[in-house]
Structures are given as C-alpha cells and as structure tokens.
Amino acid sequence: MREEDREKGYDFHKKSHTDTMVINMGPSHPATHGTVKFFLTLDGEIIEDIDVEIGYLHRAFEKECEAQKWNGVFPYTDRLDYTASALNNVGYAMAAERLIGIEVPERCQYLRTIVSEMARLSGHYTNVGAGALELGALTAFIYFIEARELLWDLMESICGARLTHNYVRIGGVTSDLPSGFRENIKRIFAKNRELWVDFDTMLTKNRIFLDRMRDTGAISQKDAIEWGFTGPCLRATGVPYDVRRAQPYLVYDRVDFDIPVGSTGDNFDRYLVRMEEINQSMRIIEQCLEQMPDGPINVDDPRWRMPSKDDSSTKMEPLIFHFKQIIEGPQIPAGEVYQAVEGCNGELGYYLVSSGGGKPWKCRVRPPSFALTAAMPLLVKGAMLADLIPTFDMINLIGGECDR
Amino acid sequence: MSQGDNKGYGVVDSAVMARVRAKLGPLGLILHTHNQHGDDTVVVQADDILQVMEFLRHDPAMSFDMMMDLTAVDYLGAERTHPYLEPLKARFEVVYHLYSVEKNHRIRVKAPLTLENCYINSVTGIWAGADWFEREAFDLYGVVFRGHPNLKRILLYEGFEGHPLRKDYDKFKRQPLIGPVN
C-alpha cells in the first residue's frame, strides 16, 4: 500500500472489489459435451450461483413411445444414452417381458449381458476420453476413441450398427454372435488393454490432470444419496450400490466381478471408478463367453416375438404372425412395472404402464444423469469457474438421456 | 429375473408391505395395495402424501433414503385398468419410486389426482433430489407441487402452452417458438 493511500485510509482491496457478473455458458460451449446452458453468477473467478438449464435436446420421447407399438419403441430407446445404446434396449425389453410374464432363453440372457457390458465399455471410453479432452488432453482422448472404434467393430459384427444398435427385441435379440467373434474379441481386448495402460500412464499420475480433478466437485455420501446419485458418481463416494449386485438381473449373479468404490467423492475418484469398471466389464464379457450355452436366442411364442425374416418370407403362418406384430403389436396385458438396470451413469429405470393393447400407455425412463445434473449447484457453488469443466465431465450429462 | 403373476394384482405380502399396512392402515392412509410383478405398491390419498413419505423415509425398518423416480400418469380413458381410480373420479396419478440403499428394498407410492384438484404437496423437503423430478412432472403433466421452491418448466421453454404428456394433448399439435426472453 502506498504511503499517501494509507494516510487517506484507502483500502485497495476493498475498493477494487467488483460487482458480481452474470454470464451465460452454453448452450453450445466447446468445453462441455452435451447441450446445456449454465447461468452463472461470478465473483471474479468464483462461482457464486449457478442455474442449470436443460431441455435443449428434448424430443418428446414419451409422447412418441405412446404412439408406437411396443416393438417400435426400441429405436427411440437407442437414442437415450447414445454412447451405450444397447443398455437402453436391454432395460426396456426386460421391463416389457416382466409385464408379459415371459422369461427369455439362457443364451439370450448371456448375449444381453455381453452387449450390455460392451455398451458400458463404450460409454466409459467416451466419458473418460472426452473428460480428458476437455481438460486439454487431446492425445489421451484419441487413444480411447481408438478403443471405442474397435469395440464398435465388434458391435457392428453382431448387429450391423455402430452407434444405435437396436439389437434387442421383446422376447429375444435380433441375431446370434457371428462366426469368428471369439477370436476377434480376444484380439480387440488385448489391444484395448494396451490402450488402457497407455491412457492410464498419460493421465492418472499426470500433475496437471491431478490438480484439476482432485478435490473438485466433491459430494458427501449423505448428500449423494439424498440427491438420488447412482452409478459411478455414487460409488465414488464409497457407497457400493450397483444394481447388478444389489438386485441381480440377467446372468450377473453367475459371473465374478468387483465393484470399485472411491472414498472422497471428488472428480478424480469418479474417474478412477470408471477406469476400473472398464476392466471389470471386460472380465464379465470373457466369463460370459466361456459360460454361454448353446440354444435358442428367442422365446418360441409368436405372440411376443416377430418371426425370423427367413421364415416370414417363405412360410404362411410366420407371415401372418409377422403382420399381426406389425399391425396390431404384441397384446401386452394391463399392468405396470418398474425395471432397473445398471446404466453407464447409474440406475436406468423403465416404468411401463400398459392398458392392455399393442401400444404402451406410458413409457417412462428414469434417466440417471438427470438426477446427477440436478445436483450441479451443490457441486460447484463456491468453486472456481475452471472447476466446472471437470465436474460437468464426470457428471457425464448425456443430452439424449437427460432431456429425452 | 423375477417373475410376477400375470393375471392381475398379486397379494403376496413382503416384509415391507406388511409393515406399511400395519403402520399406515390403522391411520386410514391406505387406499389400495398390490405387488403386481413383484413391485410393492401402495396407493394413498394425495393430501396425505407428506405424512406417508415422512414415515417411509424415517421409519427405521423402512429408511427409504433415495427417491429414485417421480413421474405422473394420465389415465384419461383407461381408468378401468385401476379399479380404485373410478370411485375417486381421478384422472392422474403421481408415481414415486423409492429405494433404500441401506436395506436394499424398493416401494412404489402412488397418489391419484383429479383434473380439478391437480395439486399435491412437494416432497423436496424430504429428498432434495425430488426438485427436478417435480418440475418435470409439472412441465409435462401440469401437476402443481405445493411448496416447491422453484416450480417452473424444465424440459420445455417458458411460454409453451399446455402440458404435452396429457392424453388430450394432440401429438401433432404445433406451437410457434417464442422469441428470446431477455
């Protein structure tokens, strides 16, 4: 402080204090993946207040589903969490099957588990990779995108699509594993494990990465539960809740896997949990391939399952069933059901209501990232503006899922 | 995969339902219970929702510490599928899915509402996470949550007219986009 200032009683610190500033961040911002708007009140670089505005990708998922036949909903579910679309298919199909009261054959359950875990891998590669990208680590991002591309090659060999798989059907799946799948998966997993090690070496002990991830965006166990956190973000706080373990579905009770948990609930723990889940998903897939029995992949009941294309093109009865499925839809009895599966971001729940008939009366999705994004103010208030980026990355808002 | 009975409302009582019935039944808070497809469900009057939720949240044997999901259903024209809706002349139902991390059990709570009296108390005081879910149900179904701190549209824009998930909202109805608000 200058001598004459002190004499005048001039306090530089007090006088230079500026008013808070309100800025819009988004809806399309280069450092956030997903279309979302933050309405920020800043005091210097400190976030005083934040209002999160979602809905930019709202495309009336529920209204569209109510106008479709039960089988026509699958393409819409693909576009919820589009980084892991097969998982959404599986959840919806399981909910519909519980409404009907059928159980799919064992081989089909294994196939569904395999594609679920492949979808989880794809989702985690995207999230962790893009998270690194937005902190400036472009190289690391490209390593994981390569891993994801290889994985999508596998998905493509199963169902013909890379991004929106539309693979599962009520009462079964569309196709069995192609020949040579086991050799391919062995080759690709070996490569992906190398990429994982490279990625891990580049980031996990990287000083810049650590400084931005550690102790930012932390949440306590109690708050996380109260705000409806599930998935990696909840497990990062140390709560080992995983739907696959808590209420096992498909064949998760027959495979051996660990549930990684964190301790501090900050961004770095969320990152570590996801990195370890990548390894665990690979373990699950390998065990499934070992255990998988031969057998049918669809229920043998034309009321619920569309006949195969070969049959409906050559035989009379399957053709009739095919028309029935397309024109009337499966006649699912009236009732309601809530089926949860472990999605990429947490509990993905389907609440289906049938009034008896070919169309769903209501098809509700419980989107995990919706609940996570709702807690954003809690995570970033009082933090630096730059901390918003890693926090939002690790929350992993998927626009398609959050806005529906 | 759990197999439910397919014919209608099952009557198998789980430990959760037995306690809910024992504790809330004598108070006259229960309209209906069932566990179709293995999902424990209790239907209560909308006016009693806070009392019921406080019990489910804080009772040591229940301790539903997580509000998984909150949504509404419009049963316009399909009231017959739920026999308890008709005497109440109810059209909507607010549906809560609760989960207990501690006890690893679930319950579904439903509260019927009429079109004229489409109000229900907000549960944001019990689970902070209910905030956005209630805003969504308000946005898409027009259910008003009394006592919600910030009840405004969330998925649709300010200035949108009507509530599109109501069954009488035409799917092909078009609305012009409004200009910038500020």
Q: Which amino acid is at A197?
A: V
Q: CA-nearest residue of chain B to A223?
A: B128
pLDDT exceeds cutoff 80 at B8: no
pLDDT in tens, B31-58: 888 888 878 888 888 888 998 999 999 9
The pLDDT assigned to A202 comes to: 87
Q: Among all chains, which residue has been given the structure tokens 């890379």?
A: A162
CB contact under 8 A, B78 and A364: no
Q: What is the pLDDT of residues B65-115, one digit of tens each?
A: 899 999 999 988 877 777 777 777 888 999 999 999 888 888 999 999 988
Inspect the interface and report whether the beta carbons of A374 and B129 lie closer than 8 Å.
Answer: yes
Non-local CB neighbours of A157 within 8 Å, separated by 6+ positions: A178, A181, A184
Q: Are A402 and A392 in contact (CB under 8 A)?
A: no
Structure confidence at residue A29 (pLDDT): 80
Sequential DSSP letters for A97-111: HHHHT----HHHHHH
| C-alpha torsion angle, residues A138, A142, A143, A146 (rounded to 10) | 170
The class level of CATH for B15-146 reads alpha beta
Query: Are A168 and A161 within 8 A, CB to CB?
Result: no
**Which of A353, A354, A369, A378 would best serve as a mutation to test chain B binding (most B beta carbons within 10 A)?**
A353
- Spell out which residues of chain B touch residue A373, defining contact as CB-CB under 8 Å: 132
Contact B81 A99 (CB under 8 A): no
Structure confidence at residue A285 (pLDDT)? 93
Inter-chain touch A351–B2, beta carbons under 8 Å: no
Domains and CATH numbers, chain A: 3-53 (no CATH), 61-403 (1.10.645.10)
Q: Which residues of B, range 126-165, sit inside 8 Å of A by Cβ?
A: 127-129, 131-133, 136, 140, 153-157, 164-165
Alpha-carbon distance of A55 to B94, in angstroms, equals 22
Can you give the pLDDT at residue A35? Answer: 83
Contact A343, A92 (CB under 8 A): no
| pLDDT on residue B5 | 38
**pLDDT, position A2:** 62
**Distance of alpha carbon B167 from alpha carbon B163, whole angstroms:** 9
Geometric angle at alpha carbon A240, from A343 and B13, rounded to 5°: 80
For the cut 50, the answer to whether the pLDDT of residue B3 exceeds it is no
B157-171 residues labelled b (16+ CB within 10 A) or e (exposed): eeeeeebbbbeebee
Q: Give the pLDDT confidence score for residue A197 in this predicted structure.
A: 93
Segments of chain A with pLDDT less than 50: none
* b/e map A195-220, b = 16+ CB within 10 Å: bbebbeeebeebeebeebbeebbbbe
**Angle at the Cα of B63 (from B60 to B68), degrees rounded to 5?**
175
Q: Which residues of A touch B81 (CB under 8 A)?
A: 334, 355-356, 361
Chain A contact for B81 (CB, 8 A cutoff): yes
**Alpha-carbon distance A175 to nearest alpha carbon in chain B (angstroms):** 22
Distance, first Cα to last Cα, chain A: 57
pLDDT, position A6: 67
Would you say A347 and B69 are in contact if contact means Cβ atoms under 8 Å apart? no
Chain A contact for B42, CB < 8 A? no
Rounded Cα distance between B171 and A67, Å, is 8
Residue A70 vs residues A208, A389, B74: alpha-carbon distances, Å: 49, 39, 18
Q: What six digits make up the tokens of A190?
A: 């070996």
Hey, which residues 185-224 in chain A have their CB within 8 Å of chain B?
Answer: 223
Q: Is the pLDDT of residue B27 over 90?
A: no
Residue type, B95: V
Q: Looking at the partner chain, which of A64, A98, A227 has a beta carbon nearest the beta carbon of B129? A: A227
Report helix, strand or coil for A218: coil
Q: Supply B123's token pair.
A: 């549960």
| C-beta atoms of B4 and A101 within 8 A | yes
CA dist., res. A43 & res. A111, Å (int): 53
Domain residue extents for chain B: 15-146
The Cβ of residue A20 has, within 10 Å, a number of other Cβ atoms equal to 12
Q: Does A333 touch chain B (CB under 8 A)?
A: yes
Task: Inform me whether the C-beta atom of residue A58 falls under 8 Å from chain B C-beta atoms.
Answer: yes
